[in-house]
Amino acid sequence: MPALTPGVGSDSTPGRIVLDARDIARALTRISHEILERNRGASDLVLVGLHSRGVPLAHRIAERIAAVEGVDVPVGELDVTMYRDDLRTNPTRAPHKTDVPPIDGRIVVLVDDVLYSGRTIRAALDALGDLGRPAAVRLAVLVDRGHRELPIRADHVGKNLPSARSERVHVALSEADGRDEVRISGGDDA
């Protein structure tokens, strides 16, 4: 349930704000430092943002890593549309650009906005397998809302947000939506 749907993204987006722009900035700074600590620096790192809101998040993390380490970490973007297990039931997805730097032998950090069922990450792992053989793959997400359907967990989480299945998590980023915020709606808010 990653992104805002078309037409939902104005200030009239329903629900309550759970992360504002400052919260998102702090979460991304923390994630960046965690990635550096776990990797013991920036060597051999590649950040791969998942379309659509994982891409700007990956770029923001790369900027923070460059500010700390003085190293430009390569950033790629990955479209998992053709790897999704629901493609037959939802074939109307518009494909996005995939542009991933070489990943063989590198530490790849997949970056996404919301981790929910785990199915998007499974698709991303399948896509990465077609692109090369990384030394390790890690996962960084802005929001982990639970309700996993597959045995996938994030290594770096901005905010754990327990939610009901009937709720929606809306992520707005300035690059796509003109503002930074995370809202939760549905359930009792609907």
Looking up residue 115, the CATH number of its domain turns out to be: 3.40.50.2020
Secondary element (H or E) of residue 36: helix 21-39
Q: Which domain holds residue 102?
A: 16-85+93-186
Q: Please give the tally of structural domains in the chain.
A: 1
Residue 6: the pLDDT is 33
Residues 6+ apart with CB under 8 A from 23: 159, 182
Check residue 100 and give its pLDDT.
97
Region 181-187: mean pLDDT is 92
- Is residue 178's pLDDT more than 80? yes
For residue 23, is it within any domain? yes
Establish if 4 belongs to a structural domain.
no
Q: Does 134 reside within a domain?
A: yes
The band of 190, judged by pLDDT with boundaries at 50, 70 and 90, is: very low
CA distance 53 to 114: 9
Dihedral (CA of 182, 184, 189, 190) sign: positive
Q: What is the mean pLDDT of the chain?
A: 90
Give the pTM.
0.89
Which of 27-36, 50-59, 137-146, 181-190 is the least confident region? 181-190
Residue 149: inside a domain, yes or no?
Answer: yes
